[in-house]
Amino acid sequence: KKSRQALFKKKALILGKGKIGKKVFEKMKLFMDVDSYDILTDKPESLKGKLNHADVISIHIPLNSDTKGIINSEFLSNMKDGALLVNTARAPIINETDLFNEIKSKRIKCALDVFWDEPYKKNLSTFDHNHLSFTPHLASTCKEFLISAEKDLHNFLKKL
């Protein structure tokens, strides 16, 4: 039986300093040591050191031509052994083949709620839940999200 470890001793890395990334950063810093990285504002050479120290990496970057496949074998190989990669942004930000090979090695873990195809039935679905977890991308259906979206819409309309 494994003992649980205290979160306050863990380090999180938030990828992306946009609206969602900033909110996740603020919430996580209440109980973890949190750092962030953004491809638009931070030096690329600083990422490797941040990956080496992070126990959890949470992706909050948009999908575009610059970010498609940015999480690749080099990125994954620089992650700390036993680290958890969480993708709630867009699946193609991660190179699917490179993730498959890294999960196969059982060196890191991954949690996904976004996929390359729906329903997802490709290679990654063959792994046990000890190294890869799938959840549906349902945040937008909760009551709190809908209330927040309504407020955002009203604020947007006021600015017009």
Give the integer Cα–Cα distance in Å for 106 and 109: 7
Annotated catalytic, 118? yes
* Amino acid letter for position 69: G
Q: How many helices (H) and strands (E) does the chain have?
A: 5, 6
Annotated catalytic, 4? no
Out of 118, 131, 144, 154, the active site residue is 118
* Amino acid letter for position 49: G
Out of 90, 131, 144, 150, the active site residue is 90
Out of 137, 144, 150, 154, the active site residue is 137
Strand 56-59 and strand 33-37: the pairing is: unpaired
Annotated catalytic, 90? yes
For the annotated catalytic residues, the residue numbers are: 90, 118, 137
